[in-house]
């Protein structure tokens, strides 16, 4: 079995077009809006983007706007690498929140990293990770 060597790094300004294209490929129905102040983390395999995380600084909290992994890279720990990198990048005393669809398989990933359900409805969950979780 081939071992995947994944690198995770903060996207540079020059990476933004490729990052947005990758996000659109994974989530074709989503409106992709990335501002200059947003934090984009990229996971790469053989110099090809295989995952991303998109964070927005909302002042007193960070919003995980999106996290996605290419189909062929799923199940290889890419999501864990991205989420760990994000959580290690932000200040420890700032809460992190995100919204996901109820059936999103990544809910377990978020729970393993200290996120809990703050609100829910039939379609979405609002997850929060308190500081020092």
Q: What is the pLDDT of residue 117?
A: 92
Long-range contacts of 81-84 (CB under 8 A, 24+ apart): 81/6, 81/8, 81/43, 81/51, 82/8, 82/41, 82/43, 82/51, 82/52, 82/53, 83/53, 83/109, 83/110, 83/113, 84/113
Q: What is the pLDDT of residue 1?
A: 42
CATH number for the domain including 28? 3.40.630.30
Q: What is the pLDDT of residue 76?
A: 84
Domain membership of residue 117 (yes or no) is: no
Domain membership of residue 108 (yes or no) is: no
Domain membership of residue 86 (yes or no) is: yes
Question: What domain count does the chain have?
Answer: 1
Domain membership of residue 114 (yes or no) is: no
pLDDT in tens, the chain (133 residues): 456 789 999 999 999 999 999 999 998 988 778 888 899 999 999 889 999 999 999 989 999 999 999 988 888 889 999 999 988 888 778 899 999 999 888 899 999 999 999 998 889 999 999 876 5
Domain membership of residue 123 (yes or no) is: no
Q: What is the pLDDT of residue 54?
A: 94
Domain membership of residue 43 (yes or no) is: yes
Domain membership of residue 84 (yes or no) is: yes
């Amino acid at each position: 079995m081939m071992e995947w060597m994944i690198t995770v790094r903060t996207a540079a300004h020059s990476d933004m077009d490729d990052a947005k294209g990758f996000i659109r490929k994974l989530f074709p129905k989503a409106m992709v809006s990335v501002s200059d102040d947003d934090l984009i983390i990229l996971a790469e395999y053989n110099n090809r983007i295989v995952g991303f995380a998109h964070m927005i600084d909302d002042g007193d909290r960070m919003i995980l706007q999106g996290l996605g992994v290419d189909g062929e890279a799923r199940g290889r720990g890419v999501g864990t690498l991205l989420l760990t990198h994000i959580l290690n990048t932000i200040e420890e005393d700032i809460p992190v929140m995100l919204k996901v669809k109820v059936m999103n398989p990544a809910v377990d990933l978020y729970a393993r990293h200290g996120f809990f359900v703050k609100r829910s409805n039939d379609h979405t969950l609002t997850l929060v990770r308190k500081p020092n979780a």
